[in-house]
Amino acid sequence: MAALTPVSRTPVSFYVPVVGLFGALAGLFVGTAQGSTLGGIVLGAAIMALIALILTKALPSERAGRLALIGLGALAGYAMGGIAAGLIGLLFGWFFGWFTFWLFEGRYRAKLVPYLTPGQVLWHFTFRFICGAILVFLITPILVVMPLSFNAEAFFTFTPEMLRFDPAGYSLRHYRDFFTNSDWQSSLANSVRIAPVATLLSVSFGTLAAIGLSQPHVPFRRAIMAILISPMIVPLIISAAGMYFFYSRIGLQGTYIGVVLAHAALGIPFVIITVTATLVGFDSSLTRAAANMGANPVTTFFRVQMPLILPGVISGGLFAFITSFDEVVVVLFVGSAGQKTLPWQMFTGLREQISPTILAVATILVIISIALLTVVELLRRRSERLRGMSPS
Amino acid sequence: MSDSTHTGPMLAADGTTLKSSLNRALRRQKLRALMLIAPLLIFVLVTFIAPIADMLFRSVENQIVSDTLPRTTQMLGDWDADAADIPAPQVFEALYVDMFIATERKLHTRLGSRLNYELTGVSSLFRKSGRKVEDMGEVYQDQFEDLDKFWKKGANLNALFGAPDWQAAQAAWDTSDKKAQPKFKLRSGLETVLPQASEAFDVYARFTQGEDGKNLSKAKPWALIYSALYNDLVAQPAGLAALDAPGADELRAAAARVGDFDTVDFTAAFKKIDKDWVSQDVWRVIKTYSPRFTNGYFLNSIDMKKTADGPQMRAENEQLYIKLFIRTLFMSLVITGSCILLGYPVAWILANLPAKTANLLMILVLLPFWTSLLVRTSAWKVMLQQQGVINDTLVWLGLVADDSRLALINNQTGTIIAMTHILLPFMILPLFSVMKTIPPSYLRAAKSLGATNWTAFWRVYFPQSVPGIGAGSILVFILSIGYYITPEIVGGTTGTFISNRIAYHISSSLNWGLAAALGAILLAVVLGLYWAYDRIVGIDNVKLGG
């Protein structure tokens, strides 16, 4: 976006105190860690204010100043606490260099409308900061798991070796454990045996029903919809309890078929929702046209309707697959030791014998989720393109 | 429009009236739609709705007491639970019969553990009684056997009680190697002469052949049959003189002598096993739980107890479930609240940023949404531990002393943090889709009319985003109220939900009825919210992943 507001340099009385304030904040942490909170604040404020002044007034070019500051930060950090602290110092230097010139050159106003008061500008950036923090909260747990899974020790936290980026602190031993341990391998095999069959069941039944539901005159549509969606709404523990009681009555408890049926039931709402959503954009005159040209209903379905709603069907299937692949409560009750799935194994691992192999599995699963997410997003775009909508 | 030369109703091409032709087409269309839906509907009804219905049924079902102790519970009907005295001797005799049969069938421990939920100690009482009840009637057996050697042999009894054609079949089976034993049939007319003994023998024979799977010809008769026989003979039945069966003479000889037999006082015998049998508490519990259906599980799940005088609150220190329900509701509310607080700004910024940036940031919301629940829960377990990443960071920054690390896990804090994170996408996505539809020009218009930032937001923007908040809140609340996995792993003892208690009752304490009742209450709450959600948002409008 082009600049909305012409930028101009700000006075020293503005940017030096602000940079000083941030310096004080940084000094607070460094100072507390070194033993003197107050000293840290004062020193941090003074140093950063001075640096800001030097950067803007004494040095010839912005580039040189910022590079120098990055180097300085890295060196100071390294002197204080090794490679990890050096890296943090480097980021520190980069941030303060960028921040000083961002304020000094008035760039922060560039993308804002000109009539904003300084208070509104401050709020704008505070709000952005808050949102950023929440997004960090959302993503951190997933990001933390990944490096920890390469831990050379059987710990759940970063070891000093890892923080020093010592290669000895990292290893693939947890991945090796996952791929060689028979417990993990059999649970993986069970998951792979259960999820696709359950998905197939829910997709085939679900797609048919979704087509039925999107016809214009369906009696009891609301009631039927409520029943079909209910597996998603009823708390899993209640579904699990009910299925446990009922399936043990009819002899399905502890069997492969029982688990597959239970998982298929849980996946159905997702198929129904995604496929009906796709069918909303389906032009029913196409099927009439096909019939007009002599195609029978089955041919019409497979040659005309199916290719158009396929993206919805596939993404519904992916939802159903991940529901079954992730599911632990129902399989815990309906299954027996012979149907122990990957999530079940993780659950027992977390509850009883804590082993960092879980983190390796978690990382693998995160990568699988990223792949699935990408597929669903691509399908959504394709579906919108097919239906003549522009991808948003 | 209509054909003016044609009078009367309009006709379709095939000659029927247009109206009926249209109706038929509509009916066919409806039928076709239903046919497409039917397979799935049946599938869901069988695999999902039937189990839920079964669970609801279990929450009131109580057939085990009257099935295991049929005679006792029937006799107890006349007993006044409020009276100071214990039940009549006939009740104890019925108890002897029931207990004897239940012990043989190994059902007494199951009933004991069932009644133990209502009165502690009943389980061990039943187990103890089961061991001793077999010897209780042996006095009669010994006396019969002393009287005549005839009574010692099971085969003689089979000849006396069995129908002649069954005896022939059984004799033939004994020498063959066929699998199925011919089913025992009682000698006709015998049940009028020896009603109790016939019944006892019938039960014995069926059990031996069926559940026990043993050869009836070689089995040793129960002591119960002899005590029943004594009871029958003491009454000097009229038909005895005319009875024509193998052993009828021995029977008549015994009938002449039974008056001199030593008898057993069953009340005293049970008292000897355990004093509890002559206390009213045990009998009151048995009488209270005699009916085939009970509201006892539901009363238990709201901290009440079923007594002979009607429902009563439990003692203060036994109350558990109301507190647990309140805690579940409270924590779900806190989680919903923090999801609104954290989700609103993010949804706002996603809805107001340029599409390209927003899509990029959306990935940060969708990735946790798509990541396995177990992965996220384990991540929080790793981060929140005493030696975990958060505490380590805080210590490193100097905000927390090394010896006073924060207790973030195995308590309510842990559950709230982890579940807020897990459910946050469910708040952001509906909020985002609502906010996307609010034109940003409204805010600008409000501001140009002189509203401050806050007024413009609060009076113009916020009211339009309320449907999104409603949809997201109900979704998050419904999901959180029934959560099991996360509280189980990060909740410790104080951060658990009602679901954890349900799971405990299913898998550990095996009190399935109570688990079903707790589940039924939870289900009622969720269905109420589901109904509200349908009202506010509509089930059709549920969206997944943006």
Q: Residue A79, class by beta-carbon neighbours within 10 Å (0-12 exposed, 13-18 middle, 19+ buried)?
A: exposed
**Cα distance between residue B545 and residue A385, in whole Å:** 18
Q: Which helix (H) or strand (E) holds B313?
A: strand B310-313
Q: Looking at the structure, tell me whether residues B240 and B378 fall in a common domain.
A: no
Q: Which residue has the tokens 């009752």?
A: B505
pLDDT tens per residue across span B413-441: 999 999 999 999 999 988 998 898 889 89
My answer on whether B346 and B409 are in the same domain is yes
Question: Is B204 within the bounds of a domain?
Answer: yes
Contact B381, B465 (CB under 8 A): no
* DSSP-assigned states of every residue in B138-192: HHHHHHHHHH-GGGG-HHHHHHHHB-HHHHHHHHHHHHS--SSPPPP-BPTTHHH
> Does residue B5 fall inside a structural domain?
no
pLDDT in tens, B78-130: 777 777 777 888 888 888 888 888 888 888 888 888 888 888 888 888 888 88
Q: Is the pLDDT of residue B48 over 90?
A: yes
- Nearest Cα residue in chain A from B544: A274
Q: Which residues of A touch B33 (CB under 8 A)?
A: 212-213, 215, 217-218
Helix (H) or strand (E) holding B304: strand B304-307
Q: Contacts of residue B522 in chain A, CB cutoff 8 Å?
A: 235, 237-238
A205 & A286 share domain: yes
Provide the pLDDT for residue A127. Answer: 93
Does residue A276 share a domain with residue A381? yes
> Which residue, A60, A56, A32, A28, is CA-closest to A44?
A28
Residue A339 identity: Q
- Considering only the beta carbons, identify the residue of A158, A249, A346 that sits closest to B392: A158
Cβ-based contacts of A25 with chain B (< 8 Å): none
Cβ separation B453–A123 shorter than 8 A: yes
Query: What six digits make up the tokens of B39?
Result: 């397979």
A139: nearest CA partner in chain B: B364
- Alpha carbon distance A370, A318 (integer Å): 12
Residue B1 pLDDT: 45
Measure the CA angle with vertex A316, ends A314 and A320; round to 5°.
Answer: 115
Write the CA distances from B175 to B156, B157, B172, B179, B186, integer angstroms.
18, 20, 6, 12, 22
Instruction: List all residues 6 or more positions away from B442 whose beta carbon is below 8 Å from its beta carbon.
Output: B460, B461, B464
Q: Answer with the one of A64, A86, A115 that is the final residue of a domain.
A: A115
- The secondary structure of chain A in percent helix, strand, coil, rounded to multiples of 5, reads 80, 0, 20
Which of A62, A88, A115 marks a domain boundary?
A115
Query: Burial, B11: exposed, middle or buried (Cβ in 10 Å; 0-12, 13-18, 19+)?
Result: middle
Beta-carbon separation of B33 and A137 below 8 A: no
Domain count, chain B: 3
The CA–CA distances, whole Å, from B291 to A231, B69, B73 equal 33, 11, 9
Q: Which of A218, A238, A384 to mutate to test the interface with B (most CBs of B within 10 A)?
A: A238
Residue in chain B lying closest to A35 (CA): B398
Contact A227 B41 (CB under 8 A): yes
Q: Is A268–B29 a contact, with Cβ atoms under 8 angstroms apart?
A: no
Q: Tokens 């106003």 identify what position?
A: A109
Mutate: best of A234, A250, A370, partner B, most B CBs <10 A:
A234
Count of C-beta atoms within a 10 Å radius of residue A353: 7
Single out the residue in B239, B260, B281 at which a domain terminates. Answer: B260
Mean pLDDT, residues B119-147: 83
B287/chain A closest Cα distance in angstroms: 27
Mutation site, B340, B375, B429, B501, interface A, largest A CB count within 10 A: B375
Could you tell me the pLDDT band of residue B7, with boundaries at 50, 70 and 90?
A: low
Q: Same domain, yes or no, for A209 and A302?
A: yes
C-alpha of B354 from chain center: 53
What is the rounded CA–CA span in Å between residue A378 and residue B4?
A: 57
More confident residue, B187 or B39: B39
Which residue, B236, B260, B284, sits at the end of a domain? Answer: B260
Residue B374 lies in a domain: yes
First to last CA, chain A: 18
Q: Is the pLDDT of residue B545 over 60?
A: no
Interface test with A, best of B37, B377, B395, B505 (most A CBs within 10 A): B37
Q: What pLDDT is attached to residue A390?
A: 46
Q: What distance lies between CA A367 and its chain's CA centroid?
A: 10
The pLDDT tens digits for A216-246 are: 888 888 889 888 988 988 999 999 999 999 9
Q: CA A92 to CA A79: how far, in whole Å?
A: 14
Within this chain, do residues B95 and B228 fall inside the same structural domain, yes or no? no
Q: What is the pLDDT of residues B443-471, one digit of tens each?
A: 889 988 988 888 999 999 999 888 888 88
A105 and A189 in a single domain? The answer is no
CB contact under 8 A, B482 and A238: yes
B439 CB-near residues (< 8 Å, 6+ apart): none
User: B112 and B174 share a domain?
Assistant: no
Residue A140 is assigned to a structural domain of this protein: no
The answer as to whether B395 is a domain residue is: yes
Q: Is A144 contained in some domain?
A: no
| Domain boundaries, position B433 | 324-541
**B425 within 8 A of B368, measured Cβ to Cβ:** yes
For B345, the closest of A127, A222, A246 (CB atoms) is: A127
Cβ neighbors of B306 (< 8 A, separation 6 or more) are B118, B288, B289, B294, B295, B296, B299, B300
B113 CB neighbour count, 10 Å cutoff: 17
Q: Which long-range contacts (CB under 8 A, 24 or more apart) does B257-262 make?
A: B257/B147, B258/B230, B258/B233, B258/B234, B259/B234, B261/B140, B261/B143, B261/B230, B262/B139, B262/B143
The predicted model gives B20-40 an average pLDDT of: 89
pLDDT (0 to 100) of residue A392: 39
CATH code for the domain in which residue B450 is found: 1.10.3720.10
**Chain B hits for A233, Cβ within 8 Å:** 478, 526-527, 530
Using the Cα atoms of residue B471, residue B472, residue B476 and residue B477 in order, give the sign of their dihedral. Answer: negative
Cβ-Cβ contacts under 8 Å, A212 against chain B: 32-37
Residue A7 lies in a domain: no
Which residues of chain B have a CB within 8 Å of the CB of A373? 363, 366-367, 370
Distance CA B3, CA B5 (A): 6
State the complex-level ipTM: 0.85
Give the end of a domain, one of A82, A115, A148: A115
Write the DSSP assignment of B180-236 as a string of letters.
Answer: SPPPP-BPTTHHHHSHHHHHHHHHHHHHHHTTS---GGGPPPPHHHHHHHHHHHHT-
pLDDT at site B433 = 86
Residue of A250 and B305 predicted with greater confidence: A250
- A126 within a domain of the structure (yes/no): no
**Distance (Å, rounded) from C-alpha B513 to C-alpha A107?**
68
Query: Which residue in chain B has the smallest CA separation from A349?
Result: B378
What per-residue confidence (pLDDT) applies to B546? Answer: 38
Q: Is residue B190 part of a domain?
A: yes
As a residue count, chain B comes to 546
* DSSP type of residue A112: S
CA distances from A384 to A303, B277, B350 (A): 19, 75, 20
Q: Are residues B250 and B379 in the same domain?
A: no
The per-residue pLDDT for range B466-498, each reduced to its tens digit, is 888 888 898 899 889 989 999 998 888 888 899
Chain A residues in contact with B507 (beta carbon < 8 A):
333
* Mutation target vs A (from B382, B383, B448, B488; most A CBs, 10 A cutoff): B382
Chain B positions touching A135 (Cβ under 8 A) are 346, 361, 364-365
Evaluate whether residue B130 is within a structural domain.
yes
**CA distance, residue A262 to nearest chain B CA (Å):** 6
A86 and A192 together in one domain: no
Q: What is the DSSP string of B461-487?
A: IHHHHHHHHHHHHHHHHHHHHT--HHH
Closest residue on chain A to B49 (Cα): A227
φ, ψ for residue B61 (rounded to 5)?
A: -75, 140
Closest listed residue to residue A111, CA positions, set A100, A130, A123, A124: A124
Percentages of chain B per state (helix, strand, coil), in multiples of 5 = 70, 5, 25
Read off φ and ψ for residue B310, nearest 5 degrees.
95, 175
Residue of A nearest to B43 (CA): A265
Quick one: pLDDT at residue A388? Answer: 62
Written as six digits, the tokens of B297 are 């599980």
Q: Residue B212 above 70 pLDDT?
A: yes
Q: Which of A32, A131, A205 lies nearest to residue B398, judging by beta carbons? A: A32
Q: Give how far B528 is from chain A: nearest CA, Å.
A: 11
Q: Count Cβ–Cβ pairs < 8 Å, chain A vs chain B.
A: 282
Cβ contacts (< 8 Å) between B482 and chain A: which residues? 234-238
User: Nearest C-alpha of chain A: how many angstroms from B205?
Assistant: 27
Cβ contacts (< 8 Å) between B515 and chain A: which residues?
A: 241
CA distance A44 to A27: 4
Mutate to test the interface with B, among A174, A237, A332 (most CBs of B within 10 A): A237
Rounded CA separation B316/B313 (Å): 8
Q: What is the pLDDT of residues B256-289, one digit of tens each?
A: 887 778 888 888 888 888 888 888 788 888 888 8
Distance from CA of B303 to the nearest CA of A (A): 20
Query: Does B380 share its domain with B278?
Result: no
Q: Hey, what are B527's tokens?
A: 């269905």
Does residue B52 have a pLDDT over 90? Answer: yes
Contacts of B544 in chain A (CB under 8 A): 270, 273-274, 319
Mean pLDDT computed over B487-511? 89
CB contact under 8 Å between B371 and A235, yes or no, is: no
Neighboring chain B residues of A305 at a CB cutoff of 8 Å: none
Listed in sequence order, the DSSP H helices in B210-308 are 223-234, 248-257, 266-273, 280-288, 296-301
Together in a domain, B109 and B177: no
Q: Is A161 part of a structural domain of the chain?
A: no
Residues B514 and B382 in one domain: yes
Q: CB B378 to CB A346 under 8 A? A: yes
- Residues A368, A268 share a domain: yes
Looking at the structure, tell me whether residues B143 and B160 fall in a common domain. Answer: yes
Domain that holds residue A101: 12-115
Largest CA distance in chain B: 116
Domain contains B517: yes
Residues with pLDDT less than 50, chain A:
1, 390-392
Give the span between the Cα atoms of A354 and A174, in whole angstroms.
12
Q: What's the predicted TM-score (pTM) here? A: 0.82
B387 chain-A contacts, CB cut-off 8 A: 155-157
Can you tell me the distance from the alpha carbon of A267 to that of A325, in angstroms, rounded to the nearest whole number?
10
Joined tokens for residue B34? 């239903």
Name the residue facing B52 among A212, A242, A276 (closest C-beta): A242
Whole-number Å distance between alpha carbons of A73 and A369? 37
> Mean pLDDT, to the nearest integer, of B335-356?
93
Give yes or no: residues B105 and B173 share one domain. Answer: no
A160 in a domain, yes or no? no
Cα–Cα dist B444/B352, whole Å: 13
Asked, for residue A284, whether it belongs to a domain, the answer is: yes
CB A230 to CB B48 under 8 A?
yes
Instruction: Determine the pLDDT at residue A353.
Output: 66
Tell me if A213 is assigned to some domain: yes
Subunit contact A145:B375, Cβ cutoff 8 A: yes
Supply the CATH number for residue A284's domain: 1.10.3720.10
Q: Is residue B494 domain-shared with residue B507, that is, in the same domain?
A: yes
Cα–Cα dist A195/A28, whole Å: 52
Interchain pair A333, B506: CB under 8 A? yes
Closest chain B residue to A156, measured at CA: B382
pLDDT score, position B427: 92
Same domain, A107 and A195: no
pLDDT of residue B480: 92
Q: Which two tokens stand for residue B19?
A: 């109206």
Amino acid at A338: G
Average pLDDT over chain B, rounded to an integer: 84
B89/B192 same-domain check: no
Q: Could you read off the pLDDT of B375-419 as tens digits, one per residue?
A: 899 889 888 888 888 888 888 777 778 888 888 888 899 999 999
pLDDT of A1: 43
Contacts of A110 (CB under 8 A, 6+ apart): A3, A4, A5, A7
**Domain total of chain A:** 2
For residue A273, list chain B residues with Cβ-Cβ distance below 8 A.
542-544
Q: Are residues A186 and A331 in the same domain?
A: yes
DSSP-derived 3-state class of residue B405: coil
